[in-house]
Chain A
Amino acid sequence: EADIYQTPRYLVIGTGKKITLECSQTMGHDKMYWYQQDPGMELHLIHYSYGVNSTEKGDLSSESTVSRIRTEHFPLTLESARPSHTSQYLCASSESTGGYTDTQYFGPGTRLTVL
């Protein structure tokens, strides 16, 4: 099972601020993911990475950006936060052994509120 950490757990911030949501995993997983979830709704993939220097956009369009400079670290950045960005952001990671059947393990999430 993966150990995956996200900080901050909760963030309330004003419109226009730049924010970075941190995600780290200690299992050496190559694949990492960012999902967004609004209350009562399904999770949607917004970014993923197959390894260092690899990042791709997910199915749900997002104004956020990500980087993968180190295997264990996959931060998400919003250059200028808006109220529409208010949501829960969940980071996940998985091994690269079975392909699409690799189990994704999730961090605890960051609950972002933009005023």
Chain B
Amino acid sequence: DQQVKQNSPSLSVQEGRISILNCDYTNSMFDYFLWYKKYPAEGPTFLISISSIKDKNEDGRFTVFLNKSAKHLSLHIVPSQPGDSAVYFCAAVALSGYALNFGKGTSLLVTP
């Protein structure tokens, strides 16, 4: 039973524009959320995280928004750059947990 869902397998955005990657979750016990970026033949790299007590966290060009009532989070990248082209994984962990629960990832392509 997949508890973290990324329903868009791929996304294409023009350089300079905003990229919005979405993630939904079903487990109400999830308390902490993370985004990882993965290039081919490399392991996932931590990008940004957000605690359930917040609804927004910003780090440079990356902003994560959390809507707890909708069990939805999104990652905004502004402005998008070609180097942002990668697979982005959403992950969640429960207060009592240890394991990261991952979505299947969204492949972002930023075109010049």
Whether A and B are associated in the same complex: the answer reads yes
Give chain A's interface residues, CB within 8 Å of chain B: 4, 6, 9, 31, 33, 35, 40-45, 48, 58-59, 90-92, 100-101, 103-109
Say whether, besides A48-B98, A100-B97, A103-B49, A42 and B32 are in contact (CB < 8 Å): no
Give chain A residues whose Cβ lies under 8 Å from the Cβ of B97. 100
A108:B43 contact, CB within 8 angstroms = yes
Give chain A residues whose Cβ lies under 8 Å from the Cβ of B34. 103
Say whether, besides A100-B31, A100-B32, A48 and B99 are in contact (CB < 8 Å): yes
What is the bound-complex CA distance between A105 and B42, given in angstroms? 12
Give chain A residues whose Cβ lies under 8 Å from the Cβ of B51. 101
**Once A and B bind, how many residue pairs between them come within 8 Å at the CB atom?**
62
Q: Is B28 an interface residue (CB 8 A)?
A: no
B43:A109 contact, CB within 8 angstroms = yes
B94:A100 contact, CB within 8 angstroms = yes
Give chain B's interface residues, CB within 8 Å of chain A: 2, 4, 9, 31-32, 34, 36, 41-46, 49, 51, 89, 93-105
What is the bound-complex CA distance between A33 and B101, given in angstroms? 13
B102:A90 contact, CB within 8 angstroms = no
In-complex Cβ contact of A104 among B46, B94, B96, B101 (8 A)? B46
* Min CB–CB distance A32 → chain B (angstroms): 11
Give chain B residues whose Cβ lies under 8 Å from the Cβ of A92. 43
Most buried by A among B36, B97, B98: B98
* Min CB–CB distance B64 → chain A (angstroms): 14
Looking across the interface, which residue of chain B has its beta carbon closest to that of A4?
B43
Give chain A residues whose Cβ lies under 8 Å from the Cβ of B36. 106
* Min CB–CB distance A89 → chain B (angstroms): 10
